[in-house]
Amino acid sequence: MRIIIDVHSGCCNGVRKAISVAEDYLDEHGTLYSLGAIVHNDAEIRRLEQKGLRAVGYQDFHSLKGSTVLIRAHGEPPSTYRLAEASGVSLIDCTCPVVLALQKKIAAKYRELSSAGGQVIIFGKRGHAEVNGLVGQTDGHAVVVESMDDLEEKLLSGVIDPSRPLALFSQTTKDPEEFAAVAARLRQAASGLEVFDTICRNVSSRHKALREFAASCSVIIFVCGRESSNGKVLFELCRSVNPRSYKVESAEEIPAGIFRPDDIVGICGATSTTRWQLEKAASLVAGM
């Protein structure tokens, strides 16, 4: 049995930087607050909690005067910065540069379209931290579309008005093919549509590479947190080309008895999966 770790898997640059900044601060100060989970990865969160990282919510800001709070790679809406200032909270802003650029682009386009009666549409997961930050750039007026069915429903109900100028953006971690399909459908419905492909290039290239990796292996072990939106998308991509794909949150969840002596076992994960977790899974498989 051969075991291969996908070289393209592991934390994206934005998440890796946020974790690194948190670790450096904790080494010096011992305690740091994170606005929400720093990464959708329970095992990594537990590791950082042992170093002193504490997750907090907006409701906690009033009691954190004089403290430091980290803004994770997903980014935040403008209201969060106003809340921090009003509460006397210092911020370490680890918003991913790709997300930050997207926020600025959406804010500028919203200002432009507002005067023309237009709409900003965001293809993404409603309620996701990144999407909340993007919608916040439009004072809450952007329309979030989660799927083709959701798009059809919003066109039928008039929530999206194709007679108005429209601008379509995407959450940075969405599936490029799904975004292309949404864009194509909107082009059919609306003549005044601008499409901005804002999917992170590191993420979009990972789709093609992961598809090839999954097809080259006889078994796939996909490691990711249960709350990882990106992980759900990438795992389904693996399973679409390799039916013998298994998603686990930790190495200990790998099912027994699923391997054959001649298997090529591929270990991969989401943009929130750390390298140490992939290596641990590979080590456990080797001992089975």
Could you tell me if residue 30 is left (phi over 0), alpha (psi between -120 and 50 degrees) or otherwise beta? left
Task: Write down how long the chain is.
Answer: 288
In whole angstroms, give the CA distance from residue 107 to residue 136: 9
Which pair of tokens denotes residue 63? Answer: 């009691």
Determine which one of 44, 76, 130, 146 is catalytic: 130
Is there a contact between 67 and 33 (Cβ–Cβ < 8 Å)? yes
Is there a contact between 108 and 137 (Cβ–Cβ < 8 Å)? no
> Going by C-beta distance under 8 Å and a sequence separation of 6 or more, which residues neighbour residue 192?
118, 164, 165, 166
130 is catalytic: yes
Opening angle at CA 180, ends 16 and 217, nearest 5: 60
Active centre residues (catalytic) = 130
